[in-house]
A and B are shown apart, each in its own frame.
Chain A
Amino acid sequence: SQKIEQNSEALNIQEGKTATLTCNYTNYSPAYLQWYRQDPGRGPVFLLLIRENEKEKRKERLKVTFDTTLKQSLFHITASQPADSATYLCALEGTYKYIFGTGTRLKVLA
């Protein structure tokens, strides 16, 4: 079955550094992959989408890469800020529904 894996351990980094989160998937070749941000007590909010024919996508301080050979996406936040602290989820479009990873909790330390 289709499966997404994200590092379930929290990631703590110092303010100003680059945070890198990993998303691996198996048993599927998605047309695109998405990243969402979820704050405590809130629903996920869409951040970025990257298509299978795109290697890299940028939006302000965010960068996403997509390696269809490795079946992996990397999500980078450059010049991280405490306000970036949240849980980040990756998702892919399954057969008829979205499939979400468990998310990685990021904490940016001031």
Chain B
Amino acid sequence: SAVISQKPSRDICQRGTSLTIQCQVDSQVTMMFWYRQQPGQSLTLIATANQGSEATYESGFVIDKFPISRPNLTFSTLTVSNMSPEDSSIYLCSVEGDTEAFFGQGTRLTVV
């Protein structure tokens, strides 16, 4: 199993600003995943973060909008840049075990 600490748990931000979300895992993992969960929607994968290489982004998500850092095997950050109200959502980081996913508590972002 894995324990993931994610912060902040929530934030209210002004449009046009940026927010960086941090995710710390209690063990070394090769891949970390960032998801977005909009109200009433399923979890949507934003990108996969590998240590030592560029993150891999899913269709519809770009690095300029969601830059990701992965400085070591236990830590990653996701930045939501130049925010607009449409970015209001829950953002989750995740790691995978053998047959299941482990999630951080999520960051509830509201853009006003």
Q: Report the count of interface residues on A (CB-CB < 8 A).
A: 21
* Contact flag A101-B42 (CB < 8 Å), given A41-B9, A42-B106: yes
Interface bits A18-56 vs B (CB < 8 Å: 1, else 0): 000000000000001010100001111110010000000
Task: Specify which of B99, B106, B108 is in contact with A49 (CB 8 Å cutoff).
Answer: B99
B42 touches A43 (CB 8 A): no
Q: Which chain B residues lie closer than 8 Å to A59 at the CB level?
A: none
**Is A72's CB within 8 Å of the partner chain B?**
no
Q: Report the count of interface residues on B (CB-CB < 8 A).
A: 23
Task: Specify which of B41, B48, B92 is in contact with A43 (CB 8 Å cutoff).
Answer: B92
Task: Specify which of A4, A32, A45, A101 is in contact with B103 (CB 8 Å cutoff).
Answer: A45
Q: Which chain B residues lie closer than 8 Å to A8 at the CB level?
A: 40
B106 touches A43 (CB 8 A): yes
Q: Which chain B residues lie closer than 8 Å to A32 at the CB level?
A: 99
Bound-state Cα–Cα, A98 to B43, Å:
9
Task: Specify which of A42, A44, A89, A97 is in contact with B45 (CB 8 Å cutoff).
Answer: A97
A14 to chain B, nearest CB (A): 25
Task: Specify which of B4, B10, B40, B104 is in contact with A102 (CB 8 Å cutoff).
Answer: B40
Q: Which chain B residues lie closer than 8 Å to A101 at the CB level?
A: 42
- Classify the interface of chain A: helix, strand, loop or mixed: strand
Task: Specify which of B41, B102, B108 is in contact with A41 (CB 8 Å cutoff).
Answer: B108
Bound-state Cα–Cα, A45 to B92, Å:
12
Bound-state Cα–Cα, A36 to B48, Å:
21
Q: Which chain B residues lie closer than 8 Å to A43 at the CB level?
A: 4, 6, 92, 94, 103-106
* Contact flag A100-B43 (CB < 8 Å), given A42-B106, A43-B92: yes
Task: Specify which of A42, A46, A49, A102 is in contact with B102 (CB 8 Å cutoff).
Answer: A46
Q: Which chain B residues lie closer than 8 Å to A44 at the CB level?
A: 43, 92, 101, 103
Q: Which of B30-63 contact A (CB under 8 A)?
A: 33, 40-43, 45, 48
A79 to chain B, nearest CB (A): 25
* Known pairs A91-B101, A98-B45 / 7 extra A-B pairs, C-beta < 8 Å: A43-B106, A44-B43, A46-B101, A89-B43, A97-B33, A98-B96, A98-B101
